[in-house]
Structure 1
Amino acid sequence: MSRFKRGAHVDSRAGFRQEKEDCPVPYGLLKAARKSGQLNLSGRGLTEVPASVWRLNLDTPQEAKQNVSFGAEDRWWEQTDLTKLLLSSNKLQSIPDDVKLLPALVVLDIHDNQLSSLPDSIGDLEQLQKLILSHNKLTELPSGVWRLTNLRCLHLQQNLIEQIPRDLGQLVNLDDLDLSNNHLIDIPESLANLQNLVKLDLSCNKLKSLPPAISQMKNLRMLDCSRNQMESIPPVLAQMESLEQLYLRHNKLRYLPELPCCKTLKELHCGNNQIEVLEAEHLKHLNALSLLELRDNKVKSLPEEITLLQGLERLDLTNNDISSLPCGLGTLPKLKSLSLEGNPLRAIRRDLLTKGTGELLKYLRSRVQEPPNGGLKEEPKTAMTFQSQAKINIHAIKTLKTLDYSEKQDASIPDDVLDAVDGNPVANVNFSKNQLTAVPHRIVDLKDTLADINLGFNKLTTIPADFCHLKQLMHIDLRNNLLISLPMELEGLIKLRSVILSFNRFKSFPEVLYRIPSLETILISSNQVGGIDAVQMKTLSRLSTLDLSNNDIMQVPPELGNCTSLRALMLDGNPFRNPRAAILIKGTDAVLEYLRSRIPT
């Protein structure tokens, strides 16, 4: 009997044909890269990069060797030089010298691999602007890196680097430098040469001090020195003309940094240090500060000079040794959030502390020694004096630039309330906790000076289009209303920094917010928002706080991970499956990194 089954197909050439090995990079991908100039090989389990990738623009492609005619789209001789190469999340242990065969590269991303070294030839990539080397095993960098003078973004976080040479100063076009999570014990003075740097992350190293020359970096907006071993901060830091965010968490500071003439600083984070005393001289220069974070320190008391921080919006004093509060704290016109948990406060009833910031500040204001007649305009109550005008604090209008007509439960704002302004430059208006169904039309009379308006806890269903005339507005509080949309005209509010929309009836994220690039804080929790546009969200380059908690978001777009300006992202209370709660609890950085890892390749 034949050893072959009847009818079975037999390949007579079997045994003579050489089996073609599967290429880890599909040829179609290389072919497409010649047209687009971009090649994404992330997450493919590569242990080495095939030579065909490095020689992509040198070797004649396979189709050129075949006797076929070419259509307009298949003209291999019209190929585009590779400008973007993504090799992240593989198992690469080295990069060959052949990297220099791609001289047109603008972006090279090799993060999340096992690299312990780089070839010096990387310095031949003269067009390179973005180099991502984070999450590897690098202990040092080749001298070639310092020849990349067109580099604008250099990420080296999560490596094993112990020293950065002074050659760093040659990268004069850098605007984003991340050296966090390494083993650095000092920073070279040449850092001062990076005059274009906007963002510098030195967190999670072993730094004991900063070089004084760092003060020469006139364009730096964000400096993160968290989780180091610093005991003091050089006062020359105040000479940084653009510094807005300073992170000093988890160090060994005993005093708040003294930053004379620091007119731009908006956020100062000093949590988890050893600060015991807040001195007046440490506060008096921080006029622009909107956030002061001092949680987990040993602060025993607050000086009365805390009232100098007129722009303060958030004050975090959680887990300190504070037993009493200065009553002047209640007069800070913009303070929206005051965190005091974990302090041995004795002079304030516990039930009052649980009622929230608004009630606590109201209590402190009631304890302030008022001028004669309570600071009210001295007029006899005659038939010509309206009852509402008798309730207005004229002293606050003139000295604090604040018009407060809140908690009156009125359905409209009487005309004489706005008449009481009487030409004074009012910057703050508080009409919260009334029964308003419409925004008072005369609010536009304050368009030249109004910076902060609180219309929370009313019954507003719409915001009028002429709200856009309030060009000086920086803060809007519309929480606890009946809003379902915002007018597109609000994009004219070019100075707007924060907007609070929590506890309304929004079913979609207001489109106009994507068009206000000055926004730093968006709070839209406890609505019915079903999703967000992460691509448009990334255009908000200053956005640092985004609260989307307690909405109806079924899926978090992975591209949200590219919004790297975010320092606080709240997503809990939504019905999505990913990210899981175990990731959310790790904080904003972990969530953003997780989302980036999920971006389709």
Structure 2
Amino acid sequence: MDRLLKAARTSGSLNLSNRSLREVPVELYRSLDAVGEGEKWWEAVELQKLILAHNNIESLKEDLRNLPLLTVLNVSHNKLTDLPAAIGQLSMLKLLDVSFNSIVAIPEEIGSATSLVKFDCSSNHVKELPCSLGKCSDLSDLKASNNLITSLPEDLKNCSKLTKLDVEGNKLTALSENFFASWTLLTELNASKNLLSGMPENIGCLSRLIRLDLHQNRILSIPPSIMGCSSLVEFYMGNNALSILPEELGSLSRLGTLDVHSNQLNKYPVGACKLCLSVLDLSNNSLTGLPAELGNMTTLRKLLLTGNPLRTLRSSLVNGPPPALLRYLRSRLSEGEDSEATTPAKEEVVTMAARLSLTSKELSLEGMGLSVVPSEVWESGEIIKVNLSRNSIQELPIELSSCLALQRQR
């Protein structure tokens, strides 16, 4: 331990994770005061990063205030039941992770940690978030999933820089319209597995939203303003109480995945047949038929229809590969409409697949008939896995060498 503390006084970083600690070493709270013989006290630095994850720590002392330059504090996967008020005196703190503990309440003092950018209190026993959290104006990533939260404090609307919010697995009954009016930078919202009965009418304010997950709630309808979510790529609404889908869904030109399984839908809107989807899950609904216009959705790679009383379609079509069903549906269109139902250009399909990789970071271009690797593979800079199998590519471009995160799949 002495060796680690000595190293921390040089680097400003200390990692004591997975050490079966029952309490925080007292020396840690007075890091600089413990400069030992032979150390140059004028070269010692204050602790800035402290990792105590995966231990058996039951409490943090108020002495935490003695670490004023701390920017990262990770005490996840411990046995904490509360947090000290001194957390609010860490004015430089940017990342706080207290997930997977037994914390019942977050202290109001956390609002004084105004530099906070990412806060994770998921998988605890928290019943409410403090109103003071709204004072953390730089907060961009808030994760409070798997708790007992029944409502979000109205003051959270002041966190206008929020880009990611995860409140999955709580007891939320509603989301305020005031939130969406100010959270215009939001790119990911996960409020699945709650008790929501509806969506705010101004959901369309979230024009930068890429991923929206509201599955396993009690939502009755999707407001027409959903068309304002023009950046949406993934939309999950399975296990709700939807009886209809709005025609306005067809305006979501970037949407690649639409999951509405296990609802009460009795038809799929013609307007939504304009979508360039890769995945459409309509399983376990009340569909008796499909619009012929669905046949024009030739970008579909995965179409799930099981669990519907589809009386007008043969089971071999319903359970078979999507292209066969889509061809059949196109054949039911009038001759004029059928002439417009052409297979999308290869470039369009590649572009759509690249959009879908935004959140999964995996890009599948299998069986596309490609002779060269498209530039989308390396231009995003975030893809970690690409599938180029079953193509006619003879050589890999030199640009791939710049993709440090890429794991090539053959």
TM-score, normalisation: structure 1: 0.60
What's the secondary structure of 2:157's corresponding residue? Answer: helix
Superposed displacement of residue 133, structure 1:
0.5
- Determine what percentage of the aligned residue pairs are the same residue: 34
Question: Per the alignment, in what secondary structure is the counterpart of residue 359 of structure 1?
Answer: helix
Q: 1:293 aligns with which of 259, 262, 265?
A: 259
CA contact (8 A) 1:57 1:102 kept: no
Matched, 1:155 2:120: yes
Question: In the superposition, relative to structure 1, how do residues 489 and 45 fare at CA in structure 2: closer, same or farther (>3 Å)?
Answer: closer
Partner of 1:570: none
CA distance in 1, matches of 2:290, 2:280: 13
For 1:42, give the aligned amino acid.
S
Superposition pairs of residues 222-241 of structure 1, within 5 angstroms: 222-241=188-207
Contact kept, 8 Å, 1:164 with 1:187, in 2: the verdict is yes
Q: 1:43-54 alignment to 2 at 5 Å? A: 43-54=18-29
Q: Please say which of residues 183-192 and 150-159 is displaced more in the overlay.
A: 183-192
Counterpart in the other structure of 1:263: 230
Q: 1:274 aligns with which of 221, 241, 252?
A: 241
1:247 matched to 2:134? The reply is no
Corresponding position of 1:11: none
What is the aligned residue count? Answer: 396
Q: Identify which of 48, 51, 55 aligns with 1:83.
A: 48
From the superposition, tell whether residues 153 and 273 of structure 1 become closer, same or farther in structure 2 (CA, over 3 Å): same
Task: Quote the offset at 1:482 in angstroms.
Answer: 9.6
Q: Counterpart of 1:491? A: 378
Q: Which amino acid aligns with 1:329?
A: L
Distance, in Å, in 2 between the alignment partners of 1:352 and 1:477 is 25
CA 1:229–1:487 in structure 2 vs 1: closer, same or farther (change >3 Å)?
closer
* Counterpart amino acid of residue 7 in structure 2: A
8 Å contact 2:387–2:408 — kept in the other structure? no
Please name the residue that 2:366 is paired with. Answer: 479
Which of 27, 35, 41 is the matching residue for 2:16? 41
Alignment of 1:444-523 (within 5 A): 450-453=347-350, 478-480=365-367, 486=373, 491-492=378-379, 501-502=388-389
Deviation at 1:350, TM superposition (A): 2.3
| Partner Cα separation in structure 2 for residue 211 and residue 46 of structure 1 | 42
For the residues of structure 1 that align with 2:240 and 2:402, how far apart are their CA atoms?
39
Question: Tell me, what secondary structure is at the counterpart of 1:145?
Answer: helix
Superposition deviation, residue 76 in structure 1: 4.9
Assess if the C-alpha contact under 8 Å between 1:321 and 1:343 holds in 2.
Answer: yes
In the alignment, the residues of structure 2 paired with residue 341 and residue 248 of structure 1 have an alpha-carbon distance, to the nearest angstrom, of 21
Code of the aligned partner of 1:501: L
Q: Which has the larger radius of gyration?
A: 1
Counterpart of 1:33 in structure 2: which amino acid? A
CA contact 2:278–2:299 (8 Å) conserved in 1: yes
Unaligned runs of 5+ in 2: 352-361
Structure 1 unaligned blocks of 5 or more: 1-25, 65-73, 376-394, 397-401, 405-427, 431-449, 455-474, 517-532, 538-545, 552-601
Report what 1:346 is aligned to.
Answer: 311
Offset, 1:214:
0.9
**Alpha carbons 2:108, 2:130 under 8 Å: kept:** no
Letter of the 2:320 partner, please give it. Answer: K
Under a length normalisation based on structure 2, what TM-score does the superposition of the two structures give? 0.86
Shift of 1:56: 1.3
Partner of 2:345: 429
Asked if the contact 2:267/2:287 (under 8 Å) is kept, the reply is yes
Distance of 1:488 and 1:369 partners within structure 2: 38
Secondary structure of 2:142's aligned partner:
strand
What's the RMSD between the two structures over aligned residues? 3.3
Which SS does the other structure have where 1:235 is aligned?
coil
